[in-house]
Homo-oligomer: A and B are copies of this chain.
Amino acid sequence: MSLTNASPLDAAQAAKSASHILATLPASARNDALTAIHTGLAAARDDILAANARDLELARAAAADGRLSQSLVSRLDLGKAGKWDDMLKGILDVRDLPDPVGRVTLRTRLDHGLDLERVSCPIGVLLIIFEARPEVIANIASLAVKSGNAAILKGGKESTESFVAISRAISAALETTRVPNGAIQLVTTRDVIPELLAQDRYIDLVIPRGSNELVRYIKSNTKIPVLGHADGICSMFLEHTADPQMAADVIVDSKTSYPAACNSLETLLVEQSALTTILPRVAEALAAKGVELRCDPKSKAALQDFNLSATIVDAVPSDYDTEFLGLTLAVKTVADLDEAVQHINAHGSKHTDAILTSSKELAEQFMSSVDAAGVYWNASTRFADGMRYGFGTEVGISTNKIHSRGPVGLEGLMIYKYKIRGAGHVTAVYGEGEGKKRFLHESVPL
């Protein structure tokens, strides 16, 4: 890893050259580099935490003056319980995943002695633009090295001291490995984002991690493909055969376990015939968590006898196109599954949408009809997460659909979607701490 004051053009060219070497390294060389990064960061713990403390001090002062949000200060803190250890463990988790490079996914004999293979290979050079959280640098560096991609990292200025300390440790560690120095670069010069976004000749993919505004700005200002999503407007359809307690549990988890997350619930679509049978219990559970409900007239009427007036507000049309990122939920009545699907396909953000029902048939119909990267049955939208999916970690969640290379026939016209079939599972019960459930992450034969 190099900490560079090079121009964006020079950084991008160096990354491209490094990517060509990285793409040919065997898995053992890439894994050795991850071991070295882990060892190097562990040894530099005190230096890095001291640098992080200096960032935090400035950030706290800025927050006291109202120039910075308290939540940003909180995301900045590498000393928070478990954060440092999780960061280090993540590096080894990624190292121990199967090698994604060189997988043969199609093999066709075209003629005697003439064989065609489709083989996985790295994309090339990634540009990752992110805001505060300093541990992201270790996640991204791990995924990039393991997958044989070079990466240029541009972090938010609030974390500069932390980034520099981490990057020094990673750089020293990589010196002892076969991964070239230019493969992971940290750009710290100011105001370089527009210039980086212009390097479409050398950079293959931009991955923004941050606010919707950051993502939108990037999408509108580069010819390079952007992987990610701007909005996360996730919807849940409450069908009348849903189990009421399961519905309350799943909806509460989807809305309240981390309201600022992109996979949190923003819109609840209630089947007309569930308005009086299931919605009240759900609404009471949400109210107990302090959630404000923005209701259409029918759902408001269904709740009028339940002493919930303090938490109910009349919905306006824009509520159904809003990512609240807080304890607010838009509620709308729909006649049936078809209307729910139409609403989601028109107003959703193609991120993650779910159905609560006891009917397998309706669940399958919902999952086929909704156009989204994740479509779930009886499970919380918050399962949309690389760690929860068993991917070790993630570089981001993509609502992109395009994925083809070489001659494109039928297969190149396809993309995948993720389906989950649960029984009321919620995310909040999973974790590493005491009393928490662990994921199985078992592979199941296709």
Contact = CB atoms under 8 A, between A and B. Distances in A.
Interface of A: 20, 23-24, 94, 97, 100-101, 103-124, 126, 143-144, 146-147, 149, 204-205, 219-220, 223, 225, 227, 341-342, 345, 365, 368-369, 371, 373-374, 379, 383-386, 388-423, 425, 430, 437, 439-446
Contacts of A403: 400, 402-405, 415
A409 B392 contact: yes
Contact of A444 (B107, B368, B398, B415): B107
A107 to B, nearest CB: 5
Q: How many copies does the complex hold?
A: 2
B405 A373 contact: yes
Nearest to A205: B402
A168 B439 CA distance: 55
Which A-B residue pairs are the 6 nearest by beta carbons?
A: A403-B403, A391-B409, A373-B406, A386-B407, A147-B413, A225-B402
Given A111-B439, A341-B20, A402-B400, A149 B413 contact: yes
B390 A418 contact: no
Contacts of A104: 446
Given A100-B413, A123-B415, 13 more contacts: A20-B341, A107-B443, A108-B444, A109-B443, A113-B423, A114-B379, A123-B402, A374-B406, A389-B409, A391-B407, A392-B410, A398-B406, A403-B405
Nearest to A406: B373
Decide if the interface of chain A is mainly helix, strand, loop or mixed. mixed
A109 B442 contact: yes
Contacts of A114: 379, 420-423, 425
Nearest to A351: B406
22 contacts: A20-B341, A100-B410, A100-B411, A100-B413, A103-B414, A107-B443, A108-B442, A109-B444, A111-B439, A111-B440, A112-B440, A117-B419, A119-B416, A119-B418, A120-B416, A123-B402, A147-B413, A227-B404, A384-B407, A388-B407, A389-B407, A398-B405
A227 B407 CA distance: 11
